[in-house]
Structure 1
Amino acid sequence: MGLFSFLNNKAEDEDEGPAPQARAPIPTAAPTAAPSAAPAGTDTALSYADADAMLFREEIVDKKHRLCGYRFTFQAGGKRPKPTEYAFFEALEAIELKEFTTRRMAALRISAEGIDGRHHAGVVAPNTLFIIERRHPSFGPMELAARLAALKKDGCHTALAGASLSPEEAPLLQQADAVFLNLSECSLPQFQALLKQLRAAYPALKIVVENVNSWDEQRMCLAWGCDFCMGYFLTTPDKVDPDAKIDQSRLTSIELLNLLRTDAEVSELVDVAKQDPGLAFQVLKWANAPTTGNHAKITSLKEAIIVLGRSHLYRWLTVSMFRLGSNNARDEALLEVALQRARFLEIVANLPQAQRDELFLVGLLSLFDILLGMPMSAILDKMHLSDEVRDVLLRSDGPYGPYLMLALQVEKGQVGRAAEIALGQGIDPDTLGETSNAAFQWAQEALHHSMDG
Structure 2
Amino acid sequence: MKYSYVARQPILDKDKKTFGYELLFRDGPKNTFPVIDAEEATSRLLSDHVLSTQYATLGDKLGFVNFPYKSLINRVPTLFPADSLVIEILEDCEPTDELLEAVKEMSQLGYKIALDDFVPSKAWREFLPYIYIIKFDIRIVPLPKAQLFIDRFAKTGIKFLAEKVETYEEFEHAKQIGFDYFQGYFFSKPEMIQRKALKPSFMSIIQLLTEISHERIDYEKVEALISKDVTLSYKLLTYVNSSSLVKKKIQSFKQALVYLGEDKIRKFISLVALASTDSQKPDYLYGLSIQRARFCELLVHKQLSNIDPSKAFLMGMFSLLDSLLDLPIEQIIAEVPIDKAIKLALTEESGALGQLLSLIKAYERAEWDDVSQLCQALHLSQDTLSECYDNAVAWAAELLSVQR
Using structure 2 for the length normalisation, give the TM-score.
0.84
CA drift of 1:281 comes to: 1.9
Deviations 1:355-394 (A, max 9, x none): 2233122111111111111222333344432232222123
Determine the structure 2 residue equivalent to 1:334.
285
Which of 113, 122, 132 is residue 158 of structure 1 equivalent to?
A: 113
| 1:47-446 to 2 correspondences below 5 Å | 52-76=3-27, 79=29, 82=32, 84-86=34-36, 90-93=43-46, 94-95=48-49, 96=51, 97=54, 99-100=56-57, 103-133=60-90, 136-137=93-94, 139-140=96-97, 143-163=98-118, 169-199=124-154, 201-202=155-156, 204-243=157-196, 245-246=198-199, 248=201, 250-258=202-210, 269-290=222-243, 294-309=246-261, 312-328=264-280, 330=282, 332-349=283-300, 350-352=303-305, 355-446=308-399
- 1:290 aligned counterpart, secondary structure: coil
Assess if the C-alpha contact under 8 Å between 2:210 and 2:314 holds in 1.
no
Determine the structure 2 residue equivalent to 1:48.
none
* Gap change, CA 1:245 and 1:99, over 3 Å in 2: closer
Deviations 1:315-346 (A, max 9, x none): 3322113321444451x111222233222212
Residue identity in the other structure for 1:348 = L
Assess if the C-alpha contact under 8 Å between 2:116 and 2:136 holds in 1.
yes
Distance across 2 between alignment mates of 1:144 and 1:119? 13
Residue identity in the other structure for 1:429 = Q
Assess if the C-alpha contact under 8 Å between 1:98 and 1:124 holds in 2.
no
CA drift of 1:151 comes to: 0.6
Structure 1: tracts of 5 or more residues without a match = 1-50
Assess if the C-alpha contact under 8 Å between 1:76 and 1:83 holds in 2.
yes
Distance across 1 between alignment mates of 2:341 and 2:95? 56
Structure 2: tracts of 5 or more residues without a match = none
- 1:298 aligned counterpart, secondary structure: coil
Using structure 1 for the length normalisation, give the TM-score.
0.76
Residue identity in the other structure for 1:122 = L
Query: Which segment is superposed worse, 164-173 or 238-247?
Result: 164-173
* Gap change, CA 1:91 and 1:357, over 3 Å in 2: farther
Distance across 2 between alignment mates of 1:271 and 1:81? 51
Residue identity in the other structure for 2:8 = R
* Gap change, CA 1:321 and 1:216, over 3 Å in 2: farther
Distance across 2 between alignment mates of 1:282 and 1:224? 41
Assess if the C-alpha contact under 8 Å between 1:288 and 1:298 holds in 2.
yes
- 1:211 aligned counterpart, secondary structure: strand
* Gap change, CA 1:378 and 1:285, over 3 Å in 2: farther
Assess if the C-alpha contact under 8 Å between 2:190 and 2:328 holds in 1.
no
Assess if the C-alpha contact under 8 Å between 1:261 and 1:384 holds in 2.
no
Deviations 1:270-323 (A, max 9, x none): 4443333222222323443428x5533221233334434456434332211332
Distance across 1 between alignment mates of 2:363 and 2:330? 25
Distance across 2 between alignment mates of 1:165 and 1:132? 14
- 1:241 aligned counterpart, secondary structure: coil
Residue identity in the other structure for 1:301 = F
Assess if the C-alpha contact under 8 Å between 1:64 and 1:329 holds in 2.
no
Assess if the C-alpha contact under 8 Å between 1:343 and 1:360 holds in 2.
yes
Residue identity in the other structure for 1:340 = Q
CA drift of 1:409 comes to: 1.6
Distance across 2 between alignment mates of 1:161 and 1:61? 16
Distance across 2 between alignment mates of 1:85 and 1:302? 56
Assess if the C-alpha contact under 8 Å between 1:66 and 1:333 holds in 2.
yes
- 2:87 aligned counterpart, secondary structure: strand
Share of identical aligned residues, percent?
A: 20
Distance across 1 between alignment mates of 2:169 and 2:65? 27
Determine the structure 2 residue equivalent to 1:39.
none
CA drift of 1:223 comes to: 0.9
- 2:351 aligned counterpart, secondary structure: coil
Count of matched residue pairs:
393
Distance across 1 between alignment mates of 2:370 and 2:120? 40
CA drift of 1:170 comes to: 3.1
More relative contact order, 1 or 2 (CA 8 Å, 6+ apart): 1
Distance across 2 between alignment mates of 1:114 and 1:285? 48
